[in-house]
Structure formats: structure tokens, C-alpha cells
Structure 1
Amino acid sequence: MSIPVRLWPAFLLGAALLLPAAARAQQPTAPDAAKKAADEAYARQQDYLLRNDWAYLQRYAAANQRLPAPKPGVPRVVIIGNSITEGWVKADSAFFGGKPYEYVGRGISGQTSGKTLVRFRADVVNLLPAVVVILIGTNDVAENSGPYNPETTLNNLMSMVELAQAHGIRVVLGSVMPAIDFWWRKGLQPAPKIMALNQRIKAYADQHKLVYLDFHSAMADENQGLKKVYGEDGVHPNLTGYRVMEPLLNQAVAAALKKK
């Protein structure tokens, strides 16, 4: 389309006025820029860990060094797992205050069972607990480290149990928490997979006379997902959810300590 010469001044003025607005439209907003920076920082961290610390052993290295020896008469209990365990310490720190047990949280967000196995000696055995509570499996089903293989998950769990028992540590095996979907990886239909994995964990616990801690039954809704009142995102418990879990955990630890 050609523009008559007599209209050029008005056209050029209008274009000049529009340019700043167009340029501003192309500029990222502050929240967008902050999110992009955070995403890039997270990607750099994950790349570093993948190349240098696949199991994220550095996560608790300093905290483990600072941890004193267990107190006489107060059994130390290490809870090892993923973000559900990590979030527990943050949501209800008072529960980890030393009564009736010295609970030590060693959860890492996003972690699968293979990575947890690699750090089991550093984050459990070397801390000299009386009991370990193993809460793994959610991120295996979510395929955080590749396609889900229930046999592999169970093998990793069994290796942790055997390592604990070799060092005289009592074991509590926790169920995988209910989830109808994973918000970071949708469409995997995890609910029946979780139920099947829990059946295998319970069968292994029964066979080897271990304490099985059934969080799933207490937290699941009619669709075998996490009850909304216990966790808004469908995966991670909120404080209300953790308060349901805590007496169940205390009972399981007490039962483990009574076993011969």
C-alpha cells in the first residue's frame, strides 16, 4: 500500500508515537523477568548437580557435621524421603523439637529412590539413629528420573532396608502418599500405580517383620487422591495433613522400637 506524499508527516508522527508502546510491549515485565531468572538459576543448579552431585549429597553435608551425638534416652529417628519429608520440617518445626523422639528430617525435593539410596549412608547410617523412616516412591511414579519401574523402586527400597539392618537400625516403611495427578507432570494417572506399589511395600514389610506405616489410607479421598483439606496441590500435605500424619508416625516408631 502506497501512502500519498502529503500524508507522510502525519504517518511518520503516528509511527513515532506507536514505537515506544510497541517497544514497551516487547519488554518483559518485572515478574516475567524474575521468573525467567529463577528458572535459569534452577536449570544451572540442576545441571551442576547432574554433573557433580547426582544424589545431592551436599544438601545435608554441613547439617550432618553439626548434628551432635544422639542424647541418651531420646531415640533418634531419621525420616528420609522427598519434598513431602522436606516440607514437613518447614511446616511443623515444633514436631521436630525432640519429643518424644529426636526426629531428623532428611528429605530432598524431587528425589527418586535411586538417589535416596546413594545418600542413605551419609544421611541416615552415619547419624546413628535408632530408627529410620523411609518415605520414597512418589517421584519414581512421577518419572522424575525416567520411566517408572516398580521393580526398580522396590529394589532400591530393599537395599536401604538391608543397609539399615546391617547397622542395627530399626526400619519403618512408609506408604507412598495418595495423588490423583502430578501438577508438574500431568497425565500419568498415578493413583492405581501408587496403590499397587504400596501393596508391594506392605507385603515386603510383612514378610520381613518390619513396621509398615500406612499414610495412604488416612490421607486419600474417594478417588484415591490426596484429600483437598490435607493438601491443596494434590501431592504435598499442608499443616493439617501433617498433623494427621504425626500421631501415626509416633505409633509406628514406638512399634519399631519394641520389635526384637
Structure 2
Amino acid sequence: MSCNHTGQKTVEKKSSNVNQAATTQGLNLYSGQTNPNIRVVIESPVAQQVLEGSSAKVSKIAGSSAPNSDVSVTKTDKSASADALTFAWKDSWRAALNFEANAPLDLADYMQAGVVNFHLNVIELAKGGLAFKAKCVGSSCERKIPYVLDGRELAGKGWQHLSVPLKCFAQDGDNFSGVRLPFALETGGEGKLAIANVNIQKTGNTNVTCPDYKTVAVTPSMLNEWWSISWWLPRHLQKLEEIKVRKNAQVIFIGDSITQGWEKDGFNVFNHNYEKYNAVALGFGGDRTENVLWRLLHGEVDGLNPKVAVLMFGTNNTGHRQEKPELTAAGIKRDIEELQKRLPNTKILLLAIFPRDEKPEGELRQINNRVNAIISTFADNKKIYFLDINKSFLDDKGNLPKEIMPDLLHPNEKGYEIWAKAMEPTLLKLLK
């Protein structure tokens, strides 16, 4: 089995300070033997620790976003002394086992047919997640291959040999000529696994597949993250029951956690402004465009005939995989097309993706801005209307105050009040 990416391009220009060892032979990342250019680093959401002896543990930081996180790595034995690493984590919404290069590695010649080989022993993953990761050169260049469902299938089955196509980590225009992070395991929640014999080769047979990054945003799928698997489908089924008793809803909201927030921080604002319309909030935390599409295809608006559907999503395409704006926009367009098929009489109010990051120059804010520039062209002012209320959330310098969005992403009650007030004139016009 092989990755379904095609036509990948890499930048071949080489820096004078790039370590050339990876261009002439296979690269050993960890096998118990020393590679002076590779170090093992573990991390929690708030700290990192280099493995220098037989074990390492990330320090806990009180008052942080993960004060109880417990992340550790220990050298263990597979076929020889200390030829494996056992990685454990708990109470951590993100953790990682990184194989980092002290000097940049030139992997450009590896990306088309190369592989990452390793042995993996999944000891416990029922409450955890797993993804494979690498970083190319530059910003917005973190690439992940989800493996949580496959990883859970391997739990308790002992050592397994995996071979991951390197081109799964590549997108058009990526530069792999000076790589600092050739491979990593990214995890979360709680789990334990062991890894051994980690190496990169120029060719090899693969047994791990990856989604096509060019089409993932328009390919319907459930949200299969470690933190969503237990509640996402039950919530969908709950919403199917809710719409049965709200068939006369005049307004529906479709989106991600920001829309789901109408049921939490925005509850009072929602009831005050939209209960009179028998409104329904169809928001799911973490949803990306492909997850919204799955919900639409599986009945989440069937039987409804609202006057207006308010759409606002796409920021998780940005935050989760730093997706190219045109791909996120394509996902939003596909959702609009599906919604129009199912609700032909409904006017669509497409909102600009809300600002994130504190400063205007924030990387994720900039990506969202480019998505908004594209989706603004979807409006025909007959059935689809575009509205950008983002300035309402910002101060006069374009900064996003934590008094409105404490985590610089999700509004609090004050933020939902701003949303409702800024949208009201347009919504009232469409309802008429």
C-alpha cells in the first residue's frame, strides 16, 4: 500500500550548513546506536525535555494549560540493550516524541520514493491519540498523518513493522532541503507505546497510507480525533432527534466549536436573540469542512426548511493542518453546495472565519484572512450572502482582546453578544 499523493514537488536548493549525511545513505534516527546529529526530545503542551541518559521526564508546570501532564520516555530493550524507547503520557492534551536534527538535514532526494521505517508496539491507546509528523522548512509547514484508529487496532498485538511514505508529509512547493524535524510521534490524552529501529531510506515498500491533502477538505468523514471519538457520533444522533422537534426552525447555525459555544458561553445570548426563531445550533467542536459535510450527508438538516442558515467554519482546517487557503475554501464551497441541495429554499449567510491569534500578523490569522478573501466571492446576494463582522471583535490596532476571546479563538459571553449585535441587521433583512 502506498500514499495517494501524486505530483509532489520539493525545493532542491541546498544550504551550505545542511548536514549531507542523509543524501548518500539511509539515515538512522534511533536504534540504540549513536547518531551525533539526532537527539530525542519529548514534549508536553508547556515544556520539553531532551533524553540524555536512560530516561527523561517533562516537568509539570502549575497554572499552565496542562498542569497535571505526565510525559516520559525510557530506553528499553527489544532485540538488544536500549535499542527501543518506551513513551508514556497522560493528562496531556498534546504530547510528542521527537527525533530532532542538531544540524539541518537535506531530505529533498528522499521525498518522492523514501520511507520512514520503524517497529511500533502499542501498549495502551484506548484513551489516547497518535499521529506521525514531520516538518519541512518555513512557516505553516507542519505535516501530520493521523493514525489514531489504526493505532488502537494494534494495541496489545506486540511489535509491528511500519513503513510510512515520506511523500505523505509533502505538499506542492514544500522545501525539505534543511529539515530539523524529520520524524515525530504526536500523541494526546493517555497512552503508552514503544518504538525501535527508526530510520529513513530512499526507497522501500510501504504499509501505511495517508489522505490526499488536496481533497481531504471535500471528502466527507467523521471527526476521528482521540478526544472526539467518544462523543462526536452520539452528538450527531442527538441533533437528529433535536431537529425532529424543531422542524419549524427559521434560523439554523452550522459550524464548529465556536457555533457549539452558543450552547455554553453564548447560551443566554442565543436564547435572548434566537429562541423566538426556534433556532437550532449545529456546532461540533473540532469540526473541519469534511466533518460538516459528513453531517450534512447523514441527515443533520433533513426535514428542516429554515429561512436562513448561518455558516461559520474553517478555522480548524487552519489550526489542525495549516491547510492552504484555497483547499479550505473548496471545502466550504462543497458544504454550501450540499446545503443548497438539501435546503433549496433557505438563504445562506456565510460569515467570514472569525479572527484568531492576538496580533494581526499572527500566522493562523493570516491564513484565515486569505480563506475569507476567497469565500467572499461565493456570495451571489440572492441565495448566498457573505458577511464579515471580524472588526467588531478587534481593537483599534487590530488586536484580538482576551476579554472577548480568552483563548484567542473562542468567544466568551461578551464575544457572543458582539456576534449577535453585529449580525442582527443582516439577519433581520434576510428573515424578511
Fold match by TM threshold 0.5: yes
Matched with 1:254 is: 428
Q: How many residues align?
A: 225
Indicate yes or no: 2:362 matched with 1:203. no
Q: Give structure 1 stretches of 5+ with no counterpart.
A: 1-27
Please give the alpha-carbon distance, in whole angstroms, between the structure 1 residues aligned to 2:247 and 2:291.
29
1:171: Cα distance to partner? 0.7
- The 1:191/1:96 distance shift into structure 2, 3 A limit, reads closer
For 1:51 and 1:209, the matched residues in 2 are separated by 44
- 1:156 corresponds, among 331, 340, 343, to 331
Distance 1:174 1:48, change over 3 A: same
The equivalent position to 2:412 in structure 1, one of 230, 238, 259, is: 238
| C-alpha separation in 2, matches of 1:226 and 1:188 | 10
Match runs of 1:118-197 below 5 Å:
118-122=294-298, 124-130=300-306, 131-142=308-319, 144=320, 146-166=321-341, 167-168=343-344, 169-180=346-357, 189-197=363-371
Matched, 1:32 2:68: yes
Q: Is 1:85 aligned with 2:259?
A: yes
1:138 Cα offset (Å): 1.0
Gap change, CA 1:124 and 1:70, over 3 Å in 2: same
- Cα deviations across residues 148-205 of structure 1 (Å, max 9, x unaligned)? 12222111211222222223222110111111269xxxx9712222222212222222
How far the C-alpha of 1:59 sits from its partner, in A, is 2.4
Q: Which deviations, in whole Å up to 9, do the C-alpha atoms of 1:35-67 show, x marking residues without a partner?
A: 925757752699359999733444221232244
CA contact under 8 A between 1:178 and 1:225: conserved in structure 2? Answer: no
Task: Say if 1:86 and 1:106, in contact at 8 Å, map to a contact too.
Answer: yes
- Measured in 1, the distance between the counterparts of 2:296 and 2:126 equals 27
Out of 268, 275, 279, which is 1:99 matched to? 275
Shift in alpha-carbon separation, 1:49–1:249, aligned structure 2, 3 A: farther
The change in CA–CA distance for 1:236 and 1:161 in structure 2 (over 3 A counts) is same
Return the match for 1:63 from 239, 252, 260. Answer: 239
Q: Does 1:43 align with 2:128?
A: yes
Distance 1:47 1:252, change over 3 A: farther
Identify which range, 48-57 or 153-162, moves more after superposition: 48-57
CA, structure 1 residues 253+229, in 2 after alignment: closer, same or farther (shift >3 Å)?
A: same
- Between the aligned residues of both structures, percent identity stands at 25
Residue type of the alignment partner of 2:235: R
Where does the alignment leave 5 or more consecutive residues of structure 2 unmatched? Answer: 1-59, 61-66, 71-88, 94-124, 131-146, 154-220, 224-231
Map of 1:116 onto structure 2 = 292
- Relative to structure 1, is the Cα distance of residues 80 and 117 closer, same or farther in structure 2, using a 3 angstrom cutoff? same
Assess if the C-alpha contact under 8 Å between 1:78 and 1:129 holds in 2.
no
Judge conservation of contact 2:326–2:374 (CA < 8 Å) in 1: no
1:179 partner letter: R
- Provide TM-score, normalisation by structure 1: 0.70
State the distance in 2 between where 1:33 and 1:147 align.
Answer: 25
SS in 2 for 1:99: helix
Distance 2:389 2:126 in 1: 34
Structure 1 residues 123 and 89: CA distance shift in structure 2, 3 A: farther
CA distance in 1, matches of 2:376, 2:151: 32
SS at match of 1:110: coil
Higher helix share: 1
Task: Provide TM-score, normalisation by structure 2.
Answer: 0.45
Corresponding residue number in structure 2 for 1:25: none
Q: 1:206 to 1:42 in 2, by over 3 A?
A: farther
Of structures 1 and 2, the larger Rg is shown by: 1
- Aligned partner of 2:6 in structure 1 is none
Rate the CA distance shift 1:95–1:221 in 2: closer, same or farther, 3 A: closer
Q: Any idea what SS the aligned residue of 2:406 has?
A: coil
- Counterpart of 2:353 in 1: which secondary structure? coil
Task: Give me the CA root mean square deviation.
Answer: 3.7
Q: Distance in 2 between matches of 1:177 and 1:238?
A: 13
